[in-house]
Amino acid sequence: EVQLVESGGGLVQSGGSLRLSCAASGFTFSSYGMHWVRQAPGKGLEYVSAINSNGGSTYYAKSVKGRFTISRDNSKNTLYLQMGSLRVADMAVYYCAREGAAGQLDTWFDPWGQGSLVTVSS
Amino acid sequence: QSVLTQSPSVSGAPGQRVTISCTGSSSNIGAGYGVHWYQQIPGTAPKLLIYGDSNRPSGVPDRFSGSKSGTSASLAITGLQAEDEADYYCQSYDSSLSVVFGGGTKLTVL
């Protein structure tokens, strides 16, 4: 079964740091680009970051650029999101997701992890 | 304000047909980029419903269908069931931005 399991969420003060992990199983992790999408409480989905299959190319939304770092360890089948200088506006459920079509700009996301809640206090 | 525009809510009675629209522009849907749809039941992760405008992943009932024309796309649900009550999001790619999502549509089954 293809599965993504996130961990690492929690409560952090404004200005603090947190690292999310996303453990993949059931597929060849090193063959797929991976993505992070977040959802603030009661809000819609926001695209956050992406990394290609070998980790050589990354993308960040303007809202997190310079503060978040996406990375992956293909030997451990794990995706990471290092979040720094956290703001109240970053408070959300963070989902990791696998790309549906390798290397395609208009790819879809399937599957998604269960989500990891990041709470930022002021 | 989302790049892809969706109506905030739609409703229908069991057995009816409803459609959810997703309006973009010439830099995303109108540029030919694929449109994908997700279903999100409150408290759970989004689930892929339609990819590449009109393709259903295995396991998704054929009551769900997608279409695209010009700068807009639509998700149709026929034979509405209580379990279809959820939030629905469209997603595409924008040449000026990157991956973009619609603001979501809440479907209520009356």
B43-63 per-position pLDDT tens digit: 999 999 999 999 999 999 999
Do the Cβ atoms of A110 and B51 come within 8 Å? yes
Do the Cβ atoms of A95 and B92 come within 8 Å? no
B80 min Cα distance to partner chain A (Å): 23
A54 min Cα distance to partner chain B (Å): 20
**Which band of pLDDT confidence, cut at 50, 70 and 90, is reported for residue A88?**
very high
The residues of A whose Cβ lies within 8 A of any Cβ of B are: 35, 37, 44-47, 50, 59, 61, 95, 100, 105-115
Please write down the long-range contacts of A8-11, taking CB distance under 8 Å and 24 or more positions apart: A8/A116, A9/A94, A9/A116, A9/A117, A9/A118, A9/A119, A10/A117, A10/A118, A10/A119, A11/A119, A11/A120, A11/A121
- Is the pLDDT reported for residue A38 higher than 90? yes
- Is the pLDDT reported for residue A15 higher than 90? yes
Residue with tokens 């969706």: B6
Instruction: Provide mean pLDDT across the span A19-34.
Output: 97
Q: Among A106, A57, A40, which residue's Cα sits nearest to residue B53?
A: A106
Instruction: Sort out which chain B residues have CB atoms less than 8 A from A59's CB and list them.
Output: 98
> Which one of B55, B94, B99 makes the best mutation probe of the A interface by having the most chain A beta carbons within 10 Å?
B99
